């Protein structure tokens, strides 16, 4: 059921396409002889392609972990206040310690994202279990509140441009070598989630089952929150908010493979990369040589997929 080889082939084809498509008309096959082509390839095309692949994979994995933690399929890192809290943390460190090194800023953003997601989980624990649709609604409300606080603070401190670059539709046109490498950390965090996949799947069965099997639900929750927070924080600070990847990819894979996360996380990661790279390529080709931000392409494609998912399976949460 996994069809891993097929997904790998699709991804490889997309990567090749991504390396050849761009405003500069060069032939990457000449890269070994033509220094201009080599420069474009190594400084722009390859970093951009890697950034898209890492982001798509990490966000999709963060989504599947988040959905196991909250036991609800209709949430993603962009609808639970995670991204907005990361932006608030980054804003705080930019105002209070503008000269802090980059890793300190990323750390602050991750910690804030973790705190914001923890608040979301505290809120939804008070909701009636059977009302599955209240969970995403609560997440959207929390995202809205945190986002408006970030906008207000950004407006007051003349940092609105920064806030917008984090929370508006993300895009990869600014990615060059040296400005995307943090995404490797996001990918490593997502890889860590794979090692703990059984724990997340067991926690998805309920705190009682997890305790009975000798797990500490709180410890698994903290680990999951850390993964989701680090991935989200690093993605929004590097390329901006990427919607729908963390929401729809886990849903599609769960329909086919179920919630055995140890088997499904690699597939989720690959599909995340395929979806994002496909949308990024579309954004680059539709108005060639101009670009449409991938966040906008995903907004349309992702919404269509999500609506289809909602109508296909209304009964289950």
Q: Hey, how many other C-beta atoms are within 10 angstroms of the C-beta on 306?
A: 17
> Which C-beta is closer to other proteins: that of 114 or that of 201?
201
Buried b (16+ CB within 10 A) or exposed e, 94-133: beeeeeeeeeebbbbbbbbbbbbbbebeebbeeeeeeeee
**String of contacts with other proteins for each residue 31-70, x by CB under 8 A:** ----------------------------------------
> Which C-beta is closer to other proteins: that of 60 or that of 146?
60
Task: Compute the least distance from the CB of residue 248 to other proteins, in Å.
Answer: 16
100: left (phi over 0), alpha (psi -120 to 50) or beta: beta
> Which C-beta is closer to other proteins: that of 154 or that of 250?
250
Task: Compute the least distance from the CB of residue 204 to other proteins, in Å.
Answer: 5
> Which C-beta is closer to other proteins: that of 97 or that of 129?
129
Task: Compute the least distance from the CB of residue 308 to other proteins, in Å.
Answer: 18
Task: Compute the least distance from the CB of residue 75 to other proteins, in Å.
Answer: 15
Task: Compute the least distance from the CB of residue 220 to other proteins, in Å.
Answer: 12
> Which C-beta is closer to other proteins: that of 53 or that of 202?
202
Task: Compute the least distance from the CB of residue 310 to other proteins, in Å.
Answer: 16
Task: Compute the least distance from the CB of residue 126 to other proteins, in Å.
Answer: 14
Pick one of 168, 260, 304, 307: the residue that binds other proteins (CB under 8 A): 260
* Interface with other proteins in residues 198-257 (CB under 8 A): 198, 201-202, 204-209, 211-216, 254-255
Task: Compute the least distance from the CB of residue 67 to other proteins, in Å.
Answer: 10
> Which C-beta is closer to other proteins: that of 144 or that of 206?
206
Q: How many residues bind other proteins (CB under 8 A)?
A: 26
Q: How distant, in Å, are the alpha carbons of 27, 182, 224 from that of 109?
A: 40, 13, 16
> Which C-beta is closer to other proteins: that of 3 or that of 255?
255
| Three-state DSSP string of the chain | CCCHHHHHHHHHHHHHHHHHCCCCCCCHHHCCCCHHHHHHHHHHHHHHHHHHHHHHHHHHHHHHHHHHHHCCCCCCCCCCCHHHHHHHHHHHHHHHCCCCCHHHHHHHHHHHHHHHHHHHHHHHHCCCCCCCCHHHHHHHHHHHHHHHHHHHHHHHCCCHHHHHHHHCECCCCCCCCCCCCHHHHHHHHHHHHHHCHHHHHHHCCCHHHHHHCCCCHHHHHHHHHHHHHHHHHHHHHHCCECCCHHHHHHHHHHHHHCCCHHHHHHHHHHHHHHHHHHHHHHHHHHCCCCCCCHHHHHHHHHHHHHHHHHHHCCCCC
Q: Does 316 bind other proteins (CB under 8 A)?
A: yes
What is the C-alpha separation between 241 and 76, in angstroms, rounded?
Answer: 12
Pick one of 33, 125, 130, 312: the residue that binds other proteins (CB under 8 A): 130
Pick one of 10, 17, 19, 71: the residue that binds other proteins (CB under 8 A): 71
> Which C-beta is closer to other proteins: that of 67 or that of 237?
67
Pick one of 129, 286, 300, 310: the residue that binds other proteins (CB under 8 A): 129
> Which C-beta is closer to other proteins: that of 174 or that of 258?
258
Residues in contact with other proteins by CB under 8 A are: 71, 129-130, 198, 201-202, 204-209, 211-216, 254-255, 258-260, 262, 316-317
């Amino acid at each position: 059921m996994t069809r891993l080889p097929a997904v790998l082939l699709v991804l490889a084809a997309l990567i090749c396409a991504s390396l050849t498509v761009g405003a500069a008309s060069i032939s990457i096959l000449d890269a070994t002889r033509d220094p201009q082509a080599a420069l474009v390839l190594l400084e722009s095309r390859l970093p951009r392609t890697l950034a898209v692949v890492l982001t798509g994979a990490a966000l999709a994995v963060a989504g599947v972990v988040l959905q196991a933690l909250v036991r609800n399929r209709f949430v993603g890192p962009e609808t639970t206040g995670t991204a907005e809290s990361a932006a608030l943390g980054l804003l705080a460190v930019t105002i209070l310690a503008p000269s802090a090194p980059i890793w300190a800023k990323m750390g602050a953003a991750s910690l804030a994202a973790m705190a914001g997601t923890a608040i979301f989980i505290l809120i939804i624990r008070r909701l009636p279990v059977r009302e599955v649709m209240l969970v995403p609604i609560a997440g959207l409300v929390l995202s809205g509140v945190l986002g408006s606080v970030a906008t207000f603070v950004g407006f007051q401190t003349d940092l609105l441009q920064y806030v917008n670059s984090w929370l508006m539709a993300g895009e990869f046109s600014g990615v060059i070598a040296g400005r995307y490498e943090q995404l490797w950390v996001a990918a490593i965090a997502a890889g860590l989630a794979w090692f703990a996949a059984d724990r997340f799947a067991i926690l998805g069965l309920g705190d009682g089952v997890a305790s009975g099997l000798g797990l500490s639900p709180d410890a698994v929750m903290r680990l999951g929150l850390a993964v989701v927070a680090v991935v989200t924080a690093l993605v929004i600070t590097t390329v901006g908010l990427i919607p729908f990847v963390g929401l729809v990819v886990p849903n599609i894979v769960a329909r086919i493979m179920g919630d055995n996360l140890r088997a499904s996380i690699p597939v989720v990661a690959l599909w995340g990369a395929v979806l994002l790279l496909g949308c990024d390529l579309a954004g680059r080709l539709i108005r060639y040589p101009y670009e449409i931000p991938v966040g906008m392409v995903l907004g349309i494609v992702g919404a269509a997929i999500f609506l289809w998912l909602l109508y296909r399976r209304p009964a289950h949460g």
